[in-house]
A and B are shown apart, each in its own frame.
Chain A
């Protein structure tokens, strides 16, 4: 094909991508998302892109893979060169053959029912003849070790498997450059590490230039050559946990016994009022199910618990929103301390905004404030840390300490062990529907066999799992 020859003929250019003074405006917005940005990417370089939410990381990716400015009618100034040729001289769809992109959400990047069909979609877009498709699909599945998933329905795969399939779909284009947009956000810690090991292996074999957006850079260890920080944020100093604990007013312990036929064996738990419990375990262990059962959202669950008015914040907090403003949302349940909680959870600035229009972190804090204002003695949070930047995590941490200081018993599901270590008073571990604990966090993190069983890692990425470590070392 003519266009592939063309890409080959300019391969000698060592600078694969050059951005000179690139500025990007969304339509109808005065301030540019990216301003005067210059960047040069060469063969085989590995870049980590960091910065708070809304600083333009994803925008940069869309400018790199050529979807912007067309896809959003934005306005771009400056020079953008791919293999020495300006971006706008490529034909539609041509750039995506040399730049592959994998997105954060494993559920919304597929358009076909099965793995095989999803892979074929990439080939169809490249007009690969039907006779060649099976060969290419077999080749990429072998290369990525996914052969056993060929005929599986994508919806039935786990998060980690979906992310690998999404990567394989992107790699089918034989790209030169690979962009990963928070690929680990929804994976349990060990699965995330295995993905990193798997991906670095492929990177070495193929020599791609790689750019990764990620908030959890510790998991990537020494993978990156360069780090690009798009915007520095100064974080407010965090009060020590003890500073909140003194404020505890009334304390009420929460005891529960739950069973969900087929998913969750008998789970007994006891959470002290005013304390924070982290619930951890591998993807698909039943963590979300346990929270939902406790909140009374699973009709077939058998449950016996000391309290029935449970506060619950789902992974998508906007599911809870009923009213048109953050303030009304917090006061919806009839609680009298609306203003106090708006202040405590740093929501005064957006109190009159529509809850659907605020940031993800603010949405979650709005939901937490509403639950607190209802006077619910127990608060359950499902994966509040996924895809949150350091700043949002910081604010969440503060919010949770405020909640605990109210005497509320808090249970948090999270894959982020650094976060878990900072907030947890105790830990519950769940695997295959069997709950164990409570454990003291320090005991969990110092026990290698416990960590391995529940697919966790030590905070700050300290201890390595033996298997993963060996394959990582062979890479570097």
Chain B
């Protein structure tokens, strides 16, 4: 049972997290988002095998944001209930970010796009563009590093300051983008030459199905998160 979150159909998982992020937007007390945050932690502990170190690292910027919200609202606020508002704001940040990470850390991008194409009927033209773009990312990163290196070779003065690096960005971006456009065109031709038309009339090697499990497990998640909302509303 420890990998149920990973097994859950990505489209369903996305819908569940979206619905609760949306619902949370209507709660202004500090406790409901706190309950949801705790529920996310419990659900992740029970049903996933995520790398907690990575999770903590990804949560770090959000936590800083949460502290920032708390500080500005509490210190600069004037109303009597400013402590409650401050807590509410910072717990919201925690709840939203942890819900998003719950989805991100348990879903492979490939599976996700395949599922959105098959369950939510995203057009294959768009879906495959996303997939190819995803494959390009590491290549673009390598090229970015390489371009910056060879351009530094041409400039005798050493540019160590961040400002100088930022100023050099356009001259790095132009070759990078020119190359990317050309590569994208080549890939598009190669895909078309292999019979890709972008129509929905196609079969799938990675069939992402909706199973009974998805229904049961999503009901479990919905019950857990809804009870947080209900308890929060009655407080």
Contacts and interface: CB of A to CB of B under 8 A. Distances in A.
A122 B150 contact: no
A372 to B, nearest CB: 13
Interface in B18-73: none
A109 B190 contact: yes
Contacts of A320: 150-151, 153-154
Interface in A304-328: 310, 312, 314, 316, 318-322
Interface residues of B, number: 42
Interface string A353-389: 0001000000000000010001000000000000000
Contacts of A295: 150, 153
Given A103-B193, A312-B153, 15 more contacts: A71-B189, A71-B192, A93-B196, A97-B195, A100-B193, A110-B190, A117-B206, A120-B205, A124-B202, A124-B205, A125-B202, A129-B203, A133-B203, A169-B194, A312-B150
Interface residues of A, number: 55
A261 to B, nearest CB: 18
Interface in B197-212: 197, 199, 201-207
A93 B183 contact: no
Contacts of A101: 190, 193-194
Interface of B: 110, 128, 131-132, 135, 138-139, 143, 146-147, 149-151, 153-154, 156, 171, 174-175, 178-179, 183, 186-197, 199, 201-207
A173 B150 contact: no
20 contacts: A96-B192, A96-B194, A100-B194, A101-B190, A110-B187, A122-B194, A124-B203, A125-B194, A125-B195, A125-B196, A133-B203, A170-B193, A173-B195, A295-B153, A296-B153, A297-B149, A316-B175, A316-B179, A320-B151, A356-B175
Q: Which of B147, B183, B195, B197 has the most CB of A within 10 A?
A: B195
A108 B150 contact: no
Contacts of B153: 295-297, 310, 312, 320
Contacts of A62: 189
Interface in A98-141: 100-101, 103, 105, 107-113, 116-117, 120-130, 133
A111 B128 contact: yes
Given A127-B202, A333-B154, A93 B175 contact: no
B60 to A, nearest CB: 27
Contact of B183 (A108, A318, A332): A108
